Structure formats: structure tokens, C-alpha cells
């Protein structure tokens, strides 16, 4: 296998060298204006004994025997002197010829270069050495620099395994090369980077990290806040229901048509549960006091504007809620249709508001919170509910305002109104109140 490869390679090398030397000889003869037009080949080949003109004739007949002979080392002996005729050009074709030449050169220079003394490849064709090395005595001085360099760089691996010394030859052992590669990789890994490359790499890693953190933030904002807020909402609703169960019976007002109005609770604490069947069968959100982001709007569902009325009170019961993220309590506020019911459950009972209309205003339109919305100078006599949310989703450019009016009131002891009594939300949260 290896011999065949080498033979093929040598054949190719010979052909290449032959073509080159012929071309070089032709080109050298062509310029006659040189001082000695008759002997350009001699002047070019002075370092070597045989002029190319003499070595050229035997070429066509000779190359076949080395290819058939068992010793491939004879081939470079033929190929090299031919290439020697044109000293400038062989450098380019050398990589092709080198593997075979190197073994001969090393043998000629002595076994002192080989640590193990073993010559796995070079030892096979020893028969060809003396004859091949002697005519190339002048060539060795030329070849020695390129051949010695690889042996100098490889002794580390060659010392452990005598094989890779001739690694340049075609039959270099595969596992020797593999070991070398892992060693090199390990060295590179611990090689410190320069200040410039290190800075660039650190900067790049920081950029990647920042990108990942931004992605994580988006995931957290859009996905995790909903989960966390819904969980908090559930806990708070359970808490409220438990509290209400322990409450003493309400002292209801004399007039059953006049809803009971509770006193405002402390800020940042929940006091009600809101059901909106239009938002879904299982929709409910707790209502807390205050409109600060933390903790009310971010964790406690919707928040009541402290300046506004309480549920059932004459005036405007105004609440605010996120339309996106944090459980998005008012996400579907735009789905409300006139006549849709919004039920607010407190410890005292169920306040049923009926949606009337909506409008979209700028963020500073606080008049929507007035007792008579948009007309702050009037006192009003209706029991209004106002829901506010940001309008384009994921934006704070405008506000979506939904108005509702109190249409029904049920004391806690009478149970939930029909609109929510059968919903899964009420079954889940307030059913056992």
C-alpha cells in the first residue's frame, strides 16, 4: 500500500521535474545576449557535476526501472539531478519529492539524527542507498536545511515513539500524529492571549452575555411575570375568602336597594375580587388598594385609585390594571361590549356593574376618574366604575378607559348573582365564601 503510493508519487515528481528542467533549459538557451551564449547550461550547472544537457538524454529510458524496482529510493536519485539543472525552480516542486528525498538524505547524513535508531521506512530500501546517495553528494548540502528542520521540530514526539521521526514520509504512523495533535491542543488552550486579542474576546463575551440577559429579561417580563402574578393572585384571593368567612354578618343598610359601602382598607392590601365573564369563564382578579406598581399592580391584580369612590359608593369607583404582563388583568378590556357585567365581590356582597362605553385618552386625562367622568366640576349621583389600562398593548402612549354603571347589588348572605354563580372562577375562588 505505502510502497505503491510512494511509487506513484515519485513518478509524478519525476514527470514534473522533467518537464520543468526541459522548460528551464529551453528558456536558458533562448536568451543569447548573455556573455557566453554557447554555455548557458554549464554556467547554470556549475555547482553540480553533470550538466543538464548530458543528463537529459538518458532520462526517457531510465525512469521506468526505478518505478519497477523494489527500492523507491532510486527514484529521487534520478529525479533530483534533473531538477538540479534549474536551481531556481525545484523549490516549488520539492514538497512532492521531499518525502522520499528526506529519507535518503537522513541516511546519508548518518543515523545520529534518529533517536531510536530504528528506521521503519528508510530501512527497507537500504539496497538503493549507497548508489543513490553518492551521485547526490552535491545535492545533500542543498537538501540538508529543509530536511533537518522537521527533525528538529519533531523530536519531542519522536523521543517517545521512534516512528514519527520519519513522519514526513508517506507512511507516518497515524496514532503518532494523533498524540501530537492533542498535545498541541492542550498547549494552545493554556496559551495566554495577548492584550489585544484578550480584550476583544472579553468584549465579545460580555456582548454575548448582555444579549442573553436581555433575552432573559424579555422572557421574564412576558412570561414569568404572568405566572408569578397569577400565583400571587390566587394566594391573595384565597386569603380574602378565608377572611370573609370569619367576618361577622354584615349590618346591612335599611334600604335594600342602597348598596352597602365599606370603609377603605389600608393601602397595598386586597379588599375585593373582580369577576368579568366576558374575559373568560375562569377569570377573576383581586382588587387592592392603591395603584403603585409594586406591590399592587404587579402582584395583586387591579388597584383602586385611593382618591376614587369605594364599590357601591356614589361617585366613581376607579381601578387600574396591567393590560400586558404581570397577569394582564385587563388584557381583554377592549372585548367588553355594552351590557357586559363586571362583578366585584367584597366582604359585604356583590356589586354588579354593567359596561356602558369606552374611550381612549392621553395618559394625563385624569378627568376620567371624576365622579362624572370627563366632567370634574360636577358632583354626580351615579355609581360609576372606571377601568383604566394602557392602550396600545406594550405601550404607555394612551389609556383605554372603560365605564360601567352599578346595576345590581347582592348582600354577601344572599349568594352570588346569576351572572357569575355558575362560572368556574366563582366555583374556584369565592364559591365557599
For the bound state, the minimum distance from the C-beta of residue 220 to another protein, rounded and expressed in Å, comes to: 5
Q: Which is nearer to another protein, 190 or 196 (CB)?
A: 190
Residue 221 near another protein by CB under 8 A: yes
Applying CB under 8 A, what is the total number of residues that bind another protein?
Answer: 41
Binding to another protein, residues 335-364 (CB under 8 A): 361, 363-364
Q: Which is nearer to another protein, 217 or 378 (CB)?
A: 217
For the bound state, the minimum distance from the C-beta of residue 314 to another protein, rounded and expressed in Å, comes to: 22
SS (H, E, C) the chain: CHHHHHHHHHHHHHHHHHHHHHHHHHHHHCCCCCCCCCCHHHHHCCCCCCCHHHHCCCCCCCCHHHHHCCCCCHHHHHHHHHHHCCCCCHHHHHHHHHHHHHHHHHHHHCHHHCCCCCCCCCCCCHHHHHHHHCCCHHHHHHHHHHHHHHHHHCHHHHHHCCHHHHCCCCCCCHHHHHHHHHHHHHHHHHCCCCHHHHHHHHHHHHHHHHHHHHHHHHHHHHHHHHHHHHHHHHHHHHHHHHHHHHCCCCCCCCCCCCCCCCCCCCCCCEEEEEECHHHCCCCEEEEEECCCHHHHHHHCCEEECCCCCCCCCCEEEEEECCCCCCCCCCCCHHHCCCCCEEEEECCCEEEEEEEEEEEEECCCCHHHHCCCCCCCCCCCCCEEEEEEEECCCCCCCCEEEEEEEEEEEEEHHHCCCHHHHCCHHHHHCCCCC
Q: How far is CA 15 from CA 8, 35, 45, 74, 93, in A?
A: 11, 32, 20, 15, 11
Binding to another protein, residues 358-397 (CB under 8 A): 361, 363-366, 368, 388-390, 394-396
Q: Which residue has the cell 526517457?
A: 60
Q: If phi over 0 gives left and psi between -120 and 50 gives alpha, with beta otherwise, what is residue 290?
A: left
Q: Identify the residue among 272, 273, 399, 404 touching another protein (CB under 8 A).
A: 399
Point out which span in 81-89, 299-307, 371-379, 413-421 binds another protein (CB under 8 A): 299-307
Q: Identify the residue among 52, 85, 128, 303 touching another protein (CB under 8 A).
A: 303
Residue 173 near another protein by CB under 8 A: no
Q: Identify the residue among 322, 347, 371, 412 touching another protein (CB under 8 A).
A: 322
Q: Which is nearer to another protein, 177 or 306 (CB)?
A: 306
Q: Which is nearer to another protein, 99 or 321 (CB)?
A: 321
Is-contact 327 334, C-beta < 8 A? no
Supply 267's cell numbers: 393601602
Q: Which is nearer to another protein, 216 or 235 (CB)?
A: 216
Q: How far apart are CA 20 and CA 62, in angstroms?
A: 17
Residue 291 near another protein by CB under 8 A: yes
Q: Which is nearer to another protein, 19 or 193 (CB)?
A: 193
For the bound state, the minimum distance from the C-beta of residue 396 to another protein, rounded and expressed in Å, comes to: 4
Q: Identify the residue among 305, 351, 403, 409 touching another protein (CB under 8 A).
A: 305
Residue 297 near another protein by CB under 8 A: yes
For the bound state, the minimum distance from the C-beta of residue 195 to another protein, rounded and expressed in Å, comes to: 14
Binding to another protein, residues 199-218 (CB under 8 A): 201-202, 205-206, 213, 216-217
For the bound state, the minimum distance from the C-beta of residue 395 to another protein, rounded and expressed in Å, comes to: 6
For the bound state, the minimum distance from the C-beta of residue 211 to another protein, rounded and expressed in Å, comes to: 14
Point out which span in 280-288, 314-322, 334-342, 417-425 binds another protein (CB under 8 A): 314-322
Q: Taken in order 390, 391, 396, 401, is the CA torsion positive or negative?
A: negative
For the bound state, the minimum distance from the C-beta of residue 364 to another protein, rounded and expressed in Å, comes to: 6
Q: Which is nearer to another protein, 322 or 383 (CB)?
A: 322
Q: Which is nearer to another protein, 162 or 297 (CB)?
A: 297
Q: Which is nearer to another protein, 378 or 394 (CB)?
A: 394
Residue 18 near another protein by CB under 8 A: no
Q: Which residues bind another protein (CB under 8 A)?
A: 190, 201-202, 205-206, 213, 216-217, 220-221, 224-225, 291, 293-294, 297-298, 303, 305, 307, 320-326, 330, 361, 363-366, 368, 388-390, 394-396, 399
Amino acid at each position: 500500500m505505502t510502497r505503491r503510493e510512494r511509487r506513484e508519487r515519485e513518478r509524478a515528481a519525476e514527470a514534473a521535474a522533467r518537464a520543468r528542467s526541459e522548460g528551464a533549459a529551453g528558456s536558458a538557451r533562448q536568451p543569447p545576449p548573455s556573455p557566453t551564449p554557447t554555455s548557458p547550461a554549464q554556467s547554470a550547472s556549475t555547482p553540480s557535476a553533470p550538466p543538464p544537457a548530458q543528463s537529459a538524454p538518458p532520462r526517457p529510458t531510465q525512469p521506468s526501472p526505478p518505478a519497477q524496482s523494489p527500492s523507491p529510493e532510486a527514484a529521487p536519485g534520478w529525479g533530483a539531478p534533473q531538477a538540479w539543472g534549474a536551481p531556481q525552480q525545484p523549490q516549488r516542486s520539492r514538497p512532492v519529492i521531499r518525502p522520499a528525498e528526506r529519507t535518503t538524505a537522513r541516511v546519508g547524513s548518518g543515523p545520529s539524527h534518529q533517536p531510536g535508531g530504528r528506521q521503519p521506512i528508510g530501512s527497507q530500501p537500504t539496497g538503493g542507498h549507497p548508489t543513490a546517495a553518492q551521485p547526490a553528494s552535491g545535492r545533500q548540502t542543498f537538501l540538508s536545511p529543509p530536511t533537518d528542520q522537521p527533525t528538529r521540530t519533531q523530536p519531542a514526539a519522536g523521543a517517545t515513539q521512534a516512528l514519527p521521526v520519519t513522519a514526513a514520509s508517506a507512511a507516518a504512523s497515524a496514532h503518532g500524529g494523533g498524540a501530537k495533535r492533542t498535545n498541541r491542543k492542550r498547549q494552545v488552550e493554556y496559551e495566554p492571549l495577548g492584550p489585544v486579542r484578550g480584550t476583544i474576546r472579553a468584549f465579545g463575551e460580555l456582548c454575548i452575555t448582555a444579549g442573553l440577559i436581555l433575552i432573559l429579561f424579555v422572557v421574564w417580563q412576558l412570561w414569568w411575570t404572568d405566572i408569578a402574578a397569577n400565583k400571587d393572585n390566587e394566594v391573595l384571593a384565597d386569603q380574602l375568602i378565608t377572611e370573609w368567612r370569619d367576618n361577622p354578618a354584615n349590618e346591612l343598610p335599611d334600604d335594600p336597594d342602597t348598596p352597602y359601602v365599606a370603609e377603605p382598607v389600608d393601602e397595598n392590601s386586597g379588599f375585593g375580587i373582580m369577576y368579568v365573564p366576558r374575559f373568560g369563564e375562569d377569570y377573576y382578579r383581586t382588587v387592592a388598594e392603591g395603584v403603585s406598581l409594586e406591590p399592587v399592580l404587579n402582584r395583586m391584580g387591579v388597584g383602586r385609585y385611593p382618591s376614587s369612590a369605594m364599590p357601591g359608593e356614589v361617585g366613581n369607583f376607579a381601578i387600574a390594571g396591567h393590560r400586558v404582563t404581570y397577569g394582564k388583568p385587563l388584557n381583554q378590556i377592549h372585548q367588553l361590549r355594552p351590557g357586559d357585567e363586571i362583578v366585584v365581590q367584597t366582604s359585604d356582597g356583590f356589586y354588579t356593574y354593567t359596561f356602558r362605553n369606552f374611550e381612549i385618552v392621553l395618559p394625563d386625562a385624569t378627568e376620567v376618574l371624576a365622579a362624572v367622568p370627563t366632567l370634574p366640576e360636577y358632583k354626580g349621583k351615579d355609581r360609576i366604575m372606571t377601568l383604566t389600562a394602557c392602550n396600545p398593548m406594550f405601550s404607555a402612549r394612551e389609556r383605554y378607559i372603560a365605564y360601567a354603571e352599578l346595576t345590581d347589588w347582592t348582600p354577601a348572605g344572599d349568594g352570588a348573582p346569576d351572572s357569575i354563580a355558575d362560572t368556574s372562577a366563582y366555583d374556584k375562588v369565592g364559591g365557599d365564601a
